[in-house]
Amino acid sequence: MKRFALPIGATLLGLATGLLGLRLFSPRETRPSAETTPISAIARPARTAAEVHAFVEQRLGKPDGERSEWYQTERKRLRQPGASPYRSSALLDQAIEGLSGEQLVEMLKHRVFSSVEEISQAFGRLAEIDPVWALEKVLGQTPLTIPQLNEAIVAVFATWVSTDPNGALDWCYRHPPDGGRQQCSLTLTDEWLKVDPAAVAKNYDRLENARGPGSFSAGFPDKLMRAWVAKDADAAGEWVASLATGQKKTELQQAYLKAGGGK
């Protein structure tokens, strides 16, 4: 997940800004003196993940009282007028990452997480623990709006495809053939294409069947070829050429050319 990406990014941005200001407002020398040690030669130890985590924990403080009440208090404090939205989001994301599965479930039940972003972060964390549990148990117990529900499903599959995409596809197949199965299969396809379009192609027939018929499932060949040509046009072309003659090959050849393949 994005556990440390935003806190580290904010720190690096501040460092870069400070160095730029130093260059702009300091007197310039035509040449460095012999005694000056070049900046590039000064060793700067990089912060470890544990150090970054400790830094974030220090900024957040320790929970005081019930975890859900503490989180709401911290959210209010971090989002007061004038606060940096990026810093607030990073710290709150880190706070969610530090919660246990049981704490997350209780806080979701009591609607502690109010934004779509918080819901997405919470369900991504639950998917790290157990994606099947997150979808089959927690999702049904959580009062969500339609946008929150959609983002929760996306968050689970975005995490799942990074660990066990074939298990996610098997789960979709076991799901009753209804709208829920179609939504999950469409989401699985979209998230899987972001990380491994070749694997999506390998499972093309199973995915097409799980996605089901109808306008919502239309455009699968185009989606696959756009993602794959952007990553490896030669491999995509070789795969299409290897297919048996028929409607499937014709559709994928057209999608391949439309996506800019074969140039």
Q: What is the pLDDT of residues 138-185, one digit of tens each?
A: 999 999 999 999 999 999 999 999 999 999 999 998 988 888 889 999
Distance CA 179, CA 181 (A): 5
Confidence of residue 33 (pLDDT cuts 50, 70, 90): very low
Q: What is the pLDDT of residue 49?
A: 47
Query: SS3 of 213, please?
Result: coil
Share of the chain above pLDDT 90, in %: 49
- Of 135, 64, 144, 128, the closest CA to residue 96 belongs to 128
Cβ proximity of 96 and 108 under 8 Å:
no
226: which residues sit within 8 A by CB, 6+ positions away? 255, 259
pTM strictly above 0.85 = no
Checking if the pLDDT of 206 tops 70, the result is yes
Distance CA 16, CA 263 (A): 41
Share of the chain above pLDDT 70, in %: 64
Confidence of residue 250 (pLDDT cuts 50, 70, 90): very high
User: What one-letter code names the amino acid at 26?
Assistant: S
Checking if the pLDDT of 85 tops 80, the result is no
Least confident of 34-38, 181-185, 195-199, 236-240: 34-38
- Of 181, 180, 197, the closest CA to residue 189 belongs to 197
Q: What is the pLDDT of residue 75?
A: 58
Distance CA 120, CA 110 (A): 16
Where do the structural domains in the chain lie, given as residue ranges? Answer: 59-133
Confidence of residue 42 (pLDDT cuts 50, 70, 90): very low
Q: What is the pLDDT of residue 233?
A: 96
Distance CA 80, CA 88 (A): 10
Q: What is the pLDDT of residue 52?
A: 44
Burial 72-88 (b: 16+ CB within 10 A, else e): eebbeebeeeeeeeebb
- Of 207, 171, 174, the closest CA to residue 192 belongs to 207
Q: What is the pLDDT of residue 70?
A: 55
Query: SS3 of 19, please?
Result: helix
